[in-house]
Each structure stands twice: as C-alpha cells, then as structure tokens.
Amino acid sequence: MAVGNRALARERGGARSAPGRGPRPRRQWKAYLYLAPALAVLGVFLLYPLGQSVWISFFDWNGLSLATWVGLDNYVDIATDPRIRAAFGHALVLIVFFALLPVLLGLLLTAVMGRAARLRGLAFFRAVLFLPQVVASVVVATSWLAIYAPDGLLNQVLRAVGLEVAARSWLGDFGTALPAVGLVGSWVGTGLCLVLFLSGAAQVDRELYEAARLEGAGLLREFLAVTLPGIRGQIAVALTLTVVAALKTFDLVYVTTRGGPGDSTTVPAYLAYERAFQTNQVGSACAIGIVLALLILLVSLVIARVQPAEED
C-alpha cells in the first residue's frame, strides 16, 4: 500500500511539474462585452459604409435611378483615364510638400532648438509653429487664398522689394498652382513634425549629449549620432500622418483652386467628390475612394515596416 501511495504521489508531482502544462486560461468573455459598443460603432459607421462603397463601385449609378452592373470597369478606368491618373500623380507630388519638406524642416529646427533649449521665448516660437494644427483647415485655406491673390500680400511684398516681374496669380497659373497648394501643406505640417521631434528628443538621455560634446562633437555630428537615432519612432509617426494628409487632402484644394486651373491641382479626393455630386458618376467615385483608401493603407504599412525595431 505504501509503495502504491508513493507511485501515485510521483505521478501527481510529475503532472504538476511537466513543462508547458498548467491551468488552462479561461476566456474572459466580459472583456468582449466592454468592447462591444466600440465594435458596434466601428461596424455601423466604418465597416458597413466601406463595404457598401465597394459594392457600389461595381456599378454604373447616378445616385437616383437603377444601377447597371459593370464589374471592374470603374477600376479599369482608374488605370486608363488620363485625368484620374493625373489626379493620383498630383497626390504623389503633394507628398513632397506635405511630408518630406515638413519632416526635413522639423529635423532642422529640432537640431537648432536642441542647442538653444534655454533661449528666452522658445516656447512661444514653438506654439506659433504648431498653431496651424489647431486652426480649421478651411480657415487656413481661406487665409492663403488671400495671400496668393493677384493683389495679395505675397505679390505686394514682391513689388515692394523690386521683384514685380515675379508677381503673378499663384493659384491661377498652371505652373505654380500645385506647388502653391503644396507649400500651404508644408506650413501646416512643419509645426506637427517639430512638436513630435522635440518630444522625442526630450526623452533622449542627456548623458549621451554630454558625452558627444566632451568628444568635441559639433551641432551636426551631435544631431546625427544622438538625436536622430533617438527620435526614429517620432519620425515614423510624422511620416505616416503627413503622407496620409497629402493623399487624402480635399478641403485645401476645394477652397483654393477647385482643382484648377484646368486639372492642374485635381487630387483623388476632390475628383471623387466631383464625380459623386457634380457629374453623377457614383460608381466611379466609389472606385476612386476605394483605391485611395488602399493606397493610404499600403503606404502606412510600408512606413511601419521600414521603421527600425526599438531595442529593449
């Protein structure tokens, strides 16, 4: 009997000490109940309209009468219609102004302001640069519309300094309309990038800066060796936000140029609006919107993929 008891005890002990075997975790169904309201809102206001847009994109529909099934024709038009291709090309150009320039300017200002951290009035300067982020985009567009006007502030300054030959209708010229719209995006995005980079730089260990300065590192070397590696995550966030803003921009174009002159500033979001509400091509508008959403998703995934993994 004693031998049997010892064998039974060994079996129980072995069962308890077997690797990988433990109490099976019970599913916490209550957690899903807490998430249910948010998932319901997501489904009603995002997933259902998105699915409906995908379905409508397979039809030729004017929004009122019966729709006609056209399959992938609306998507084929996106690849073959020069006007639609040009709109997506303009969005890619705006990425340079909305994303690359603000990121570069934000990095430059971060390097300078990092060395001038105790400069009086620096907080006010930071707030002024961030101000476009808290102003409604329609207000921003209206203000710049007045600045770019033929008798606006920009042309008045050019005439005052003797550069009257450079004055022009900036938003009415085929060659300058798109860059003029892009520069507004640069002005808006620079403050966001600067705030993100400064917040990241503030988390970098101060001892690294002191060590770099003891080794005789200048402003550029200190920034490249210490600050830049420390704000990689903030750079990825800034690129994601600004690239998405460039691809989906609508209100800025709508207020300033309405896609003109001609089609020189037409972008996908504005073209989708135009086809849905002006030319009654709802199916085509949905197809453009779906392709634009997929493009934004792809760009966001690429930026997230190339971001260096943070060390433990």
Would you give per-residue pLDDT tens digits along the chain (312 residues)?
Answer: 444 455 445 545 544 444 545 555 556 778 888 888 999 999 999 899 999 999 999 999 998 889 999 999 999 999 999 999 999 999 999 999 999 999 999 999 888 887 665 566 677 777 888 888 888 899 999 999 999 999 999 999 999 998 989 999 999 999 999 999 999 999 999 999 998 998 888 888 888 877 877 877 777 788 888 888 889 889 999 999 999 999 999 999 999 999 989 999 999 999 999 999 999 999 999 999 999 999 999 998 988 887 766 554
Tokens coding 115: 């060395």
What pLDDT score does 133 carry?
85
pLDDT in the model for residue 24: 55
CA diameter of the chain: 112
pTM: 0.83
**83-306 maps to CATH 1.10.3720.10:** yes
CA 47 to CA 65: how far, in whole Å?
Answer: 25
Residue-level pLDDT at 106: 92
Spatial neighbors of 100 by CB under 8 A, at least 6 apart, are none
Name the nearest CA neighbour of 260 among 151, 176, 149, 163: 176
Q: How far apart are CA 103 and CA 197, in angstroms?
A: 9
